[in-house]
Structures are given as structure tokens and as C-alpha cells.
Amino acid sequence: MPYVTAKDGAQIFYKDWGRKDGQPIVFSHGWPLTADDWDAQMMFFADHGYRAVAHDRRGHGRSTQTWDGNEMDAYADDLRAVVEALDLKDAIHVGHSTGGGEVARYLGRHGTDRAARAVLIGAVPPVMVKKESNPDGLPLEVFGGFRASTLADRAQFFKEIPAGPFYGFNRPGAKVSQGLIDKWWLQGMMGGVKGHYDCIKAFSETDFTDDLKKIDVPVLILHGDDDQIVPIHDSALKAIKLVKHGTLKVYAGLPHGMASTHAEIINHDILAWLDGTLAGDPVAGEALEPAE
């Protein structure tokens, strides 16, 4: 299988699909998943002439289950290692959830010399946890519960998340896909408990405010207003005000995992944005109310 060696020796698995002379579109997945979570996007963009690349974050999937380095700086450095090893230039970086934080930290830490654009989908930036500088965030106890459940019975916990809030399958009238739930569980169980445990702190407590401010390429922010994992009011509606060249698109009633449940919509909107034909929503989005 294809791997890139990170600077600390960790082996980072990646997939490289489509035309090698196509513009690279690079995907960073959410916790606790793998590059396989991007199947619908990898197929779509490779079919549209792009070079589609996705990697398994360290501690996740087929990459090395490191004891140390399960934090955002290392994740960003690992992404840089993939970009450099494959000599990707003019790349479009797409990150979902934790992956959105990874993309923001990568661009803030390593700059945009090899990047053309970025797309953040249901992404965690600017910062999730509640603190003095972020009073609207989620209490630290919420993420402590995530960590406790991951240690106590990770296998069961990883059944409950996709069956409930991740895909919005807990909403009345939701069209539940058992296959999608099983795929989420399988991806999660491929990774290591140490990496998953540490990653909860990384995605919830890392502050990406300065990273967002440094990004000087166009950024598309996509978020469902019924995202039960990363609430829109403490993420997308704040992030759009921090990036220099941002476009915000809000989806009424769509869940955190909308790139899977509504892949056709998300894929075509990203493509429309790349073509310059996507109409964004007003930046002043505080009036938006979450779906009931």
C-alpha cells in the first residue's frame, strides 16, 4: 500500500486517484474516520479530471498508531509530508470536521505556496470548547464524556454516534442507512484508541483563529444548520468572519455528515464554487436558527 514517511517516522497511508496531471484536490477526514470517508468525493472529482488525494490521519485507519504526535501541529506536518512527497502544487484542500481544523492549521503553519483554495465542511474552527474567550462554545465536560466513552467501550460508542447525531439519523423522518452506520463503525475501529483519545482534545481545544486569519487563498465554508456535532453558531458563522476571502453556504436541515448523506449536493456545490458559479449566503448569519 502507498505510504509517506512523516518526519518522526510515522507511516501515513494515502490514496491517489484520477489524472496525475489534473489539479490536486486533497481531502482531510474527520474523527475517528479514514480516507475512505471521502469515497463519494474522490470518485466524483477524479471523474471530473481532478487528481484526488486523501490520507489516513496518524492513529487512524491504515496509518501508524503513534503514541505521541496526535495533535494538530503534527497532523498539519503529516499533511505537508504527503503534499511534498507527491509534489502537489496549486492544490485545493478540503477538510471535514477535524479535517477542517487540520486544513486550517496546515495553511496557517505551512503557508499557501502549494495551495490554491480551501473548503471547510462542518469544520471545527475557530474553536469548539467553551472558555473565557469563547463563551458560546461547548463545555469541556462534553468532550470529557467523549474521551470516557472512547476508553470505556469504544466499539459501542462508535455504533451510537453514526446511528444518532452524526448523520442526523436521530431526527424524525430521517432516512436511515444501516450501511453508512456500519461503514462509519468499521473505519473507526481500524484506528487506534490512543490516537482517537488524543484527537478529541486536538479537535475540541485547539484554537484556529490565527490560522484562519493567515489564509490568503479563497475559502469555501459549507455547514448544515442542523449539525449536532459542530454547532454552526460556534463554527462556520464565526470562521467566515476571520478568513480574508471567504464564501459561506448554509444548508437548511442538513447534518454533520452531509458530505455522505447528501454527497450529490455537496459535490456539485464545491464544483460550482471552483467554476465561479456558486452563490454564497450572507456573511452576517447570526439570524440563522438551528433546525428543530
Query: Does residue 155 form part of some domain?
Result: yes
CB 49 within 8 A of CB 27: no
> Which cell numbers in the block locate residue 250?
448554509
Reported as a single tens digit per residue, the pLDDT across 227-245 is 999 999 999 999 999 999 9
Query: Does residue 280 form part of some domain?
Result: no
111: domain CATH number is: 3.40.50.1820
Quote the number of domains for the chain. Answer: 1
Phi and psi for 221 in degrees, rounded to 5?
-115, 115
C-alpha closest to that of 290 among 224, 194, 229? 224
pTM over 0.85: yes
Q: Specify the pLDDT at position 280.
A: 86
| Three-state SS annotation for 5-71 | ECCCCCEEEEEEEECCCCCEEEEECCCCCCHHHHHHHHHHHHHCCCEEEEECCCCCCCCCCCCCCCC
Q: Specify the pLDDT at position 291.
A: 42
Query: Does residue 230 form part of some domain?
Result: yes
> Which cell numbers in the block locate residue 90?
496549486
Provide the mean pLDDT of the chain.
95
Query: Does residue 118 form part of some domain?
Result: yes
Domain around 74? 3-275
Q: Specify the pLDDT at position 1.
A: 75
Q: Specify the pLDDT at position 292.
A: 40
- Residues serving a catalytic function are 97, 227, 256
Region of residue 122 (left: phi > 0; alpha: psi -120 to 50; beta: else): left
Query: Does residue 61 form part of some domain?
Result: yes
Query: Does residue 88 form part of some domain?
Result: yes
Query: Does residue 284 form part of some domain?
Result: no
Q: Specify the pLDDT at position 285.
A: 43
Query: Does residue 242 form part of some domain?
Result: yes
Reported as a single tens digit per residue, the pLDDT across 136-163 is 899 999 999 999 999 999 999 999 999 9
Which parts of the chain have pLDDT scores under 50?
285-292
